[in-house]
Structure 1
């Protein structure tokens, strides 16, 4: 069994080929030109097709609770998930949520991944800003997606991917900033792992829960805390359904990776 060593639960145990990749300040997040919009649609269709083959055929993903998404009509929403699949967390959501206006917040290192970063992530990813100017651009893009486009924004609040990890790593209450600020509903998508009778890799079941709404009677900080508690409870309760550790994680004071 492969072992990942870590010092803190915020450690990045998997590094991409260009971990220090950074986008220029003039990077356009949402496609505006006609060629960009056309490729946007094509890229989403191709990625979704691959997603069905990869997530269902290779990872053996089963989704429970997808019908809960139908409670939201003509309104944008957020999704919070545990980050446990390097590629699966990119493609599996495309088989669960509407692909037309689906986006995921991600670190800029993902744009440095060969081919995927250039041709796919750029049309479905929302890059975390490295400075104030880029952060403002991200905020404006999310506002547009949720309000004008009535889209879906996926957030992995744990930030770094830990392959096949079966617990929920701590994350900050500020992760609830966007749904509270935009008064938008949220769902959780929790990946769980159970031993397979047919395959070496565990069976993956993704549970969809929600919607969870911000409490408008509270202050912004209190509303973030309240929503955080709902999201945390949902993720951690579902994570307890995992019964198989495909990889081992060992805490150490010395980085052995």
Structure 2
């Protein structure tokens, strides 16, 4: 461990090194393209470029492997939602497509991810779905989620919302993002990235634990079902986070940082 970060708000503090001015995602933003060119660029960037790079990066840099990925196999022909901890700016973009395999993974991202000049279209082609900035865009966003569910795609969500690099615990998160599996009655899986110490070098090994499925409880009201799903995912991620064996960055709450 050679770095310390002081935080004050587990729900809202952001520690991504990238400082990007977010674009406004309004009603004019097109979430679902139907043109053949857009479909080709999606295939090109995702299958020809991103998948090989992701595989090499994860394996050679982090000796990455999945644990318990078999639980997803029975649901590969249907839509499902995956929720992960947000602790790495690059790996968190690469891992969802590796989980979904040949099924497209559409990752819900902050507007900053599609705001980089020259890269916004690439992120979109890779499956990035930016959060809306206003009510007009929200209608299109919800329509996009519904479309992807009907197409039997995978929707990936980082409920912690903000990146805390190499954080080894699970931050509390709200249940709002669990409205989607409740609304469409689709299974949910959690994936928890943990960091393991190597015998040599400072770079950790990353293991991704996959757990589930968790199903919306149709006997409950939608808010209650949403909360239940959130708690199931959160508790499982907390359990898996105990597998971390190395702390690259130490996080200390400001009010606790006394001499």
TM-score category of the 2 structures, normalised to the smaller one? over 0.9
Alignment of 1:86-165 (within 5 A): 86-147=89-150, 149-165=151-167
Aligned-residue offset at 1:39:
0.8
Question: Gaps (5+ residues) in structure 1?
Answer: none
Deviation at 1:73, TM superposition (A): 4.4
Residues 64-83 of structure 1 correspond to what in structure 2 (within 5 A)? 64-83=67-86
Counterpart position of 2:88: 85
For 1:165, what is the secondary structure of its paired residue?
Answer: coil
CA contact (8 A) 2:81 2:186 kept: yes
**Residue 169 (structure 1) aligned to one of 168, 171, 181:** 171
- Residues 202, 244 of structure 1: 8 Å contact kept: yes
Question: What SS is found at the alignment partner of 2:100?
Answer: coil
SS at match of 1:206: strand
Q: TM-score, normalised by structure 1?
A: 0.93
- Residue 7 of structure 2 corresponds to residue 6 of structure 1: yes
Question: Segments of 4+ in structure 1 off by > 4 A?
Answer: none
> Matches of 1:56 and 1:48 in 2, distance apart?
12
Aligned length: 253
Distance in 2, matches of 1:236 and 1:207, equals 11
Give 5+ residue unaligned stretches, structure 2: none
In 1, Cα distance between equivalents of 2:168 and 2:76: 32
Tell me the TM-score normalized by structure 2.
Answer: 0.92
Change (3 A) 1:117 1:56: farther
* Structure 1 residue 213, shift from structure 2 partner: 0.3
